[in-house]
Amino acid sequence: MKKSVSFAMSVALFAGLNTSVALADTLHYRVESGNSLYQIAEEYHTSVVNLKTWNHLDSNLIDVGQELVVHADTNTQSSQGSTVTVEPGDSIWSISQAHGVTMAELERWNGLNNDSILHTGQKLRLYGTSGSMVLSARGDSPASAQLTNAVLGERIAEFSKQFEGYPYVWAGTSPSGFDCSGLVYFVYLHFGMNLGESSYTQFNEGTHVAESDLQPGDLVFFDTDGGGASHVGIYLGNGSFISAQTPQSGVQIASLDNSYWSNHYVGASRIV
């Protein structure tokens, strides 16, 4: 991600100091084409929740040219954050929903991953130190996660694969049951992007791309009932995609070359 930042800060520089120093005020970033809140949060070592709070955002939608605060005064933040105690039946998903954060943020703050098992009584950090960011004494930009759009798309595709075999539930948007758009909604929300819960709405998100240009993480759409983009899946690469299909089959990986899907294919959108 190319950086376009402006500073309003006072930095304490000490003779001979070659380590990082914390900002004492604010740092701004100007949104560029293709950016998402998740990407910006990763780039500046903060969270989507922090970005939305600092910038008074009600949704995850941002506009090209919009200036965002990506670092707030360190004096106003707790370096320890807060904690939550895992209770019986809790999951990373349920805790993230209860506290208004994404699963990715909760995992990052606590060194967890998609396969992590929570234990009753376990302490999880919320917000952690993710709101703190440092610049070097040379004034360099923060260490970048180098999360290109293509890499993010691959992460989205990889994350979605774990739900193969999960049940189909009409209007379902959680691991207890998904419909096609609910699976897309849940997966992208994990990465801080709210695409809505309808395949028709999702069809109008992002940039439409040709089938020959598909990349992992793109959304693929099908007309299964004569009403337009009535079915949606997440492209995984190599001609395959994952979607919540029917109550009988649940979430399945299928091939775009399959005659049914190829005959009903109506287009694709690139979100990242």
What is the rounded end-to-end Cα distance, in angstroms, of the chain? 12
Pair type for strands 231-237 and 219-222 = antiparallel
Question: If you search the block for the tokens 């930009």, which residue do you land on?
Answer: 141
Measured CA to CA, the distance from residue 76 to residue 56 in angstroms comes to: 16
The reply to whether 165 and 66 lie within a common domain is: no
The reply to whether 202 and 266 lie within a common domain is: yes
The reply to whether 255 and 160 lie within a common domain is: yes
The reply to whether 89 and 181 lie within a common domain is: no
The reply to whether 210 and 264 lie within a common domain is: yes
The reply to whether 71 and 174 lie within a common domain is: no
157 is a domain residue: yes
211-214: long-range pairs with CB below 8 Å, 24+: 211/256, 211/265, 211/268, 214/268
The reply to whether 175 and 245 lie within a common domain is: yes
The reply to whether 192 and 264 lie within a common domain is: yes
246 is a domain residue: yes
The reply to whether 66 and 87 lie within a common domain is: no
Please write the tens of the pLDDT for every residue from 28-67.
Answer: 888 887 777 777 877 777 777 778 888 888 777 788 889 9
Please write the tens of the pLDDT for every residue from 3-33.
Answer: 555 544 433 333 333 322 334 456 888 888 7
Give me the pLDDT at residue 63, please: 84
Give the domain extent around 93: 82-126
The reply to whether 22 and 106 lie within a common domain is: no
H or E stretch covering 5: strand 5-8
CATH number for the domain including 177?
3.90.1720.10
Total domains in the fold of the chain:
3
198 is a domain residue: yes
181 is a domain residue: yes
Q: What does the DSSP assignment read for 106-160? A: HHHHHT--TT----TT-EEEESTTTT--EEETT-PPPPP----HHHHHHHHHHHH
184 is a domain residue: yes
Give me the pLDDT at residue 81, please: 63
The reply to whether 236 and 155 lie within a common domain is: yes
CATH number for the domain including 104?
3.10.350.10
138 is a domain residue: no
The reply to whether 156 and 250 lie within a common domain is: yes
253 is a domain residue: yes
121 is a domain residue: yes
Percent with pLDDT over 90 in the chain: 38
